[in-house]
Chain A
Amino acid sequence: GNSVTQMEGPVTLSEEAFLTINCTYTATGYPSLFWYVQYPGEGLQLLLKATKADDKGSNKGFEATYRKETTSFHLEKGSVQVSDSAVYFCALGSSNTGKLIFGQGTTLQVKP
């Protein structure tokens, strides 16, 4: 079945450091891939998405590329800020069911 695996956290970085959060997936067919962010005490917000192989999603300085050959969708940001501290979820959208399957989430803490 479909599944998503994220790197374990927490990830602790200093402000302006480079961020990578790894995400790999297993799926049949041609899923869509998403990164959602959950700030403390809030619901989930869509951060970026990619709907087909080699697509690059980007938003707020974050980006991720849909790599079919490595079944990956790693999240990157060149220079993190304290305000980026949150939990990040990688998710896979099943084209058959309309459902999302989430990874376990990665907590990012950015220190000044």
Chain B
Amino acid sequence: SAVISQKPSRDICQRGTSLTIQCQVDSQVTMMFWYRQQPGQSLTLIATANQGSEATYESGFVIDKFPISRPNLTFSTLTVSNMSPEDSSIYLCSVGVESSYNEQFFGPGTRLTVL
């Protein structure tokens, strides 16, 4: 199994500002994913972070709002840009397990509150 850390664990931000969330994995992985979990809701996939190329975004999510970097096989960042209170959520990164039928391991999440 992979050990995943995220920074920050939580933050309170003002509307109109941006926050960058970091995701670090203890081993090299091909597939990394970013999810949003709105209060009391399930997980929604934001994008797949691809190493060496642009992220692949799901319907309803755009690069200008959620830019993602993936500089190497152990690290990724998600930026939440020009925040509004509707962006208040838990943001989770996950990694896919190679040859393991789509199993994913999740980080502890970043709890974001936008005032």
**B43-A46 in contact (CB<8A):** no
Docked pose: A103 CA to B33 CA in angstroms: 17
Interface residues of B in 59-115 (CB under 8 A from A): 92, 94, 96, 101-109
**B42-A102 in contact (CB<8A):** yes
* Smallest CB separation, A37 vs chain B (Å): 11
The one of B101, B105, B107 in contact with A49, judged by C-beta atoms closer than 8 angstroms, is B101
Q: Does A32 contact B (CB under 8 A)?
A: yes
Residues of B within 8 A of A49 (CB): 101, 103
Residues of B within 8 A of A42 (CB): 108-109
- Chain A interface, number of residues (Cβ within 8 angstroms): 22
**B48-A89 in contact (CB<8A):** no
The one of A44, A51, A94, A98 in contact with B31, judged by C-beta atoms closer than 8 angstroms, is A98
Q: Does B53 contact A (CB under 8 A)?
A: no
Residues of A within 8 A of B92 (CB): 43-44
**B103-A32 in contact (CB<8A):** yes
Q: Mark A39-63, 1 if CB is under 8 A from B, else 0.
A: 0001111100101000000000000
**A104-B41 in contact (CB<8A):** yes
Chain A residues within 8 Å of B, Cβ to Cβ: 31-32, 34, 36, 42-46, 49, 51, 89, 93-95, 98-100, 102-105
Q: List 28 A-B contacts (CB under 8 A).
A: A31-B102, A32-B101, A32-B102, A32-B103, A42-B108, A42-B109, A43-B106, A44-B43, A44-B92, A44-B94, A45-B106, A46-B103, A46-B104, A46-B105, A49-B101, A49-B103, A51-B101, A89-B43, A98-B31, A98-B48, A98-B102, A99-B45, A99-B102, A100-B94, A100-B102, A100-B104, A102-B43, A105-B42
